[in-house]
Structure 1
């Protein structure tokens, strides 16, 4: 704003003197007469007056006369104007820097001079309004000011004047701040003052205090398996917070399908590398940048690649030839281990123990499998396996062997069992290369489709289905396979089978009123098949009706088996017939005769409770059921007698105890008393034998049981207790 003012007005005057000859009185007056400081584009005039003179003249700093408006060739910006003969006024319009210098008014031998200076306003030309210092270092706040005359500079910090001391040095071009701290952040004001003109201007500078960036965490070298992902971590701090970017082999990384970058507010960054490939191996650099510094930290990614195997060479060989396959790895880091497998089985290095014709060997870095004396069974895939912790790769090498037919014994039987009327398929599998033609022969004649035989032929197998209708349909069937390399024949015997013969014998091992235990012996002839099951039939008496039919598994033969559901005191006959795939054979004849036991009263129960009761007035009697005599137990009867009395006429009888229970509780017994207990079981035949036990009840709570005290003692005891109660009552009343 000061500079604008200086363009229109005169600011400062300094004394200038007219130049006189020594000893001569001044004859020229200048108005004004002092040195002038004028702004560019300002207008100014100075008047030269010579009393009694006539037409004084003005000369510029180069000594040329300044012309008046009436003179040809005058300068419209700088000219002389005369109001009368004694005065000459020098005018300046839109003064320029080229106008500065000393101007002289001359009259005769007298002269007077005035100096014109063109001032330059205060200009903060290269003074950024935002600057920074670095914590811990010496800093410099730039204030680049130009003016003419030169200005004087002073400084303020947050509106307080700065004095030069150990922390501040006022230097040319700015302010030096020593050992910067965070408290040096704020507003600095650079004040410029021109002493000669009094012009003052100032500029505010916002100063930030920065910290150099440092790494809190640097990326670490790592490794990754091809096809997987990998990460690098980086964290940096500083003021202002640094900007983190990633580089790969010196080139900036931008997020895409390959790279993703995750930033966090705490200055950390994560670089994710997706679907790592071998070309991704190299140096990854984390660059943390602030306006004052860049720092870098690098790490290396080592890529482990999944092995790759070169092209497989499939081969065709003849029988007895020698053939080999070579497995070559074309890629893989780390170098993989190689192996050969056949049908999923790893083949050992060297000669194979199971087949000395086959050997696995090495050829530099390749693995070779060699087969001598090639056979038809060698046809198929030989798999090379390349494996490392980076992954596993396999490649099949196929061997085709042209050979004469051979029979696949694992799929082709030598004997097939059948029986009359049963359709029976016989499969013959023959391997050869080229594929064989196949047919069947029986009794030296070629077999064709007929009522008895049906043929089905595929590439490497032929199935002959035979429906035996007569014994002549059984015998040797010949499978014939041939190609241009040879011929092979294989005989399958169709063997007739039969139903089993009758069981050899039935043995009666034990009987009860309702069951029998038998052993059925295996038939002498099984008929060619295992026994599947047998049917056991019971008849009442020798010629009575069938009463039971039971099927048993063939594995139960010649073991003891118990059959229930029979009646007591009854004769039965039993027979059995067994079956296999063909059917049932004849039953055992004659049948075996046996009789069940007669019905009887139940056996005595088995008492299992202890003789001593835990209670003084009760006892829990427990028992186990024994043989019921062939008919269900209807109820139990319990008799108990006080042994201390010894009179059986006092016995007490409980005669309706349910057959569904196996324990009973006697109550209202006397303490410390011996009792005799008798327990009987009843069925339709009546009462069985009694089970007996002598028991003793426990003592009463008063030690000697009151039941054993005589009447006099009982009376004394009662009277004594009464006296004690009366005494206690009166004692309580007195208190």
Structure 2
């Protein structure tokens, strides 16, 4: 059985991802990394596709030069090696810090990776040091230090230059650099300092002295919140800690609630020390305003403080654009839907450059839909970014089927007219004939062709078959153009149907869902024939006869990790 006209070759990469065997696809893309000064660093980039493949790297959008005097070297697998990473190069004061991406190029086009941000590990001086304080015996002490490191520093505490024994439940250490001591005892007197450590350095804060006030008779004291929750922004699956430490006599009871009245819940909820709220593995639903209350036992006397928790979710695709193949001159439509907190912004790229609306490209609904009119193979790369970036690759190609011969049947219109009565003699000024799609869709274009003044007919060729057009004429003289002639509406005849737009989606390791677009033109499709075969075999299985209203089919019980060729050919059309 001879193969049908249009073929789309696919191979399995995994149970949930497909890519064309001959085109480009990333196996490994560069990822954000924190570099250590004067140490080697590798940015990974591995590509598969039809050889030869040329891989280049860019830094902040500028191509890198791998000369002998530079510190970067391109490895055989396409990765980028920094032999010793520097914040600044002594020769030209240029920094190695920046955004890098790798680009792969073969005869199918250019594929650009996600941008990988390189930061240099650092640990600058403390922004805030702990301060000395005096408290009553049995009271509450609180020390805080503040430092910003890359990566974030781990904070520990020392008393009298000896590591603090955190097993004592009276000590509460918060990751933000806060030390709380409840039920202060005489043994707690001393000098406290915090120690910040990351891969770049270790720093010690100034020392703060803790003193105990001379014992005084205990009297009633109103509840006081020494430190309440601060506004906090975290990412999903992280741990959020909201601080609340209170004092008073008798010791107040700390409780938590949400300002909107919703329940905080119990799963993943823990109280640190005497009142700090810890939420493990936070989700978007945990976002809200939290209120801590310090109550005097047995009374309604209370003090409150509140802080906002914002949980961000990295962007992710909920509807992925699908690769497709379209007939030359037709329209390709791709859909991409993403979600995240805050709402992600979608950007479409072609060969690494942002696609902007123009003659052949239209975007709609916050870039969820893209309409493309073109005669060339393109590669589109989408990303959406807020706190993170998310990428996917799709291919849209336009081509003729192997046995499809371009024909003027059903794609031409012939226009006749009478010469107007002229006041001026036409010497250099021709007629202009105009044709536009009668549907007047936003993506349709008006065609204009010049006609000699001695001609009274004109053929519009290369029009879409089975399409209604509106046609009008203008005459020109030295004083300008005439008004539009009477508009004529005409419909081109039908012809052999164009190959349907055809794409696939993997359901699992043994099933593929194939889709195609139903023609939008006039005429009646009698049905569709669907074929498939396993490579390297040459015999197609099928055809499966499907009705004219069908636009998808599921192939089940395919072999795992097998190469599969799918093809869809439409039956002839009656008009």
Instruction: Provide TM-score, normalisation by structure 1.
Output: 0.24
Instruction: Provide TM-score, normalisation by structure 2.
Output: 0.29
Larger Rg: 1
Question: Which structure would you say has the larger RCO, counting Cα contacts within 8 Å and 6 or more residues apart?
Answer: 2
